[in-house]
Chain A
Amino acid sequence: MSDHAQGGHGTFKSYMIGFLLSVVLTLIPFWIVLGDVMDSTGWAVAIIFTLGAMQMLVHIHYFLHVSLKVEAGWQAMSMGLTVLLLVIVMAGSIWVMFNLDENMMPAHEQIERVRNLP
């Protein structure tokens, strides 16, 4: 009757695709950390975050069934607004606090340098 109104539920196939993608995208970052396979920590963190973001997209598409179709536009719209706010809040606070940290908390060598001034 109103299956149409409840939005796309997905099929067995789409749930399994989402699940298998999630398993792979979960195992790779844990393998990187547990297996200690990367020499560069920076690259390892970058890969972990990239795979995490990819898995979030997989969940949004295959499990939450957010679609860009017009009749479900409210869903994509409100999510877009939320993501915008999140980017502003998160990037803003991390950036500001990092700068504050750099400028207000003298690093050890800076203290030494000041101490050695004539």
Chain B
Amino acid sequence: MSDTTIETPKEFYVIEDSHHDHAEHHETGTMLGFWIYLMSDCLIFGILFATYAVLGQNYAAGPAPVDLFEVDMILVATFMLLFSSITYGFAVLRMDVNDLRGTVLWLIVTGLFGAAFLFLELKEFIHLWHIGATPMASAFLSSFFFLVGTHGLHVLGGSIWLVVLLTQLGLHGLTHENKRRVMCLSLFWHFLDLIWIGVFSLVYLTGVLL
């Protein structure tokens, strides 16, 4: 009995003393927490995808995808998002060599591509609204606006975060905390591009074909 009581704190001590320093320990915690958030977001999108897959064929005598979607504009929007992904990658690579100017420049380029994507999506939504293809028209359009709109809101949120991050980088430079924030937004941004792959495959391409 007394043996175990002595041994347990010893083992505990050894684990604590492993040569990770304190800051590193917190870092993993934040990245883990953010990753778990992304996974829960992934579940939300999964449910929206399932909803669209179930309701996407119910046009209620309204317009079908082939009447509404301009696939070439979607291709442009897809590339805007893909370019923003790779430029974010370049920003992270500049951050690795502690180049503040390069990081900020690539982040601004990322933000511009993101804004271009948002502009194209907004233009599409306004066009749809104008010709009467509102979420109220059919189950297909309700689920379409819910899925694509949620993705668009995420990109908008990511863009606002990007602006805040740029301000913080301008104020404090590449501190430890800012590097962690850049890495979190990096995960978020690439994750949104990943979701968009599902959106254009299921909603736009398959929708136009069927």
Write the residues of chain A forming the contact surface with B, with a CB cutoff of 8 angstroms: 1-7, 9-12, 15-16, 18-19, 22-23, 26, 29-30, 32-34, 41, 44-45, 48-49, 51-52, 55-56, 59-60, 63-64, 74-75, 78-79, 81-82, 85-86, 89-90, 93-94, 97-98
Contacts and interface: CB of A to CB of B under 8 A. Distances in A.
B31 A7 contact: yes
Chain B interface size band reads 35 or more
Given A29-B201, A52-B201, A90-B53, A63 B27 contact: no
Contacts of A18: 86, 89
Contacts of A89: 43, 46-47, 50
Interface stretch (B1-9, B113-121, B192-200): B192-200
Would you call the interface of chain B mostly helix, strand, loop, or mixed? Answer: helix
Given A6-B179, A7-B31, A82-B42, A93 B86 contact: no
13 contacts: A5-B28, A6-B179, A7-B31, A7-B183, A12-B90, A33-B209, A45-B206, A49-B202, A51-B201, A64-B187, A82-B42, A93-B50, A93-B53
B24 A2 contact: yes
Would you call the interface of chain A mostly helix, strand, loop, or mixed? Answer: helix
B27 A5 contact: yes
B129 interface: no
A27 to B, nearest CB: 8
Contacts of B90: 12, 15
Contacts of B205: 29-30, 32-33, 48
Given A15-B86, A75-B32, A94-B53, 18 more contacts: A6-B179, A15-B89, A18-B86, A26-B78, A26-B79, A30-B78, A45-B209, A48-B205, A48-B206, A48-B209, A56-B197, A59-B193, A59-B194, A63-B89, A64-B191, A78-B36, A89-B46, A97-B54
Contacts of A75: 32, 35
Interface string B38-52: 010011001101110
A70 B186 CA distance: 22
B72 interface: yes
Given A15-B90, A44-B209, A93-B54, A23 B180 contact: no
Given A3-B96, A19-B82, A89-B50, A33 B208 contact: yes
A78 B197 CA distance: 21
Contacts of A7: 31, 183
A59 B190 contact: yes
B40 to A, nearest CB: 8
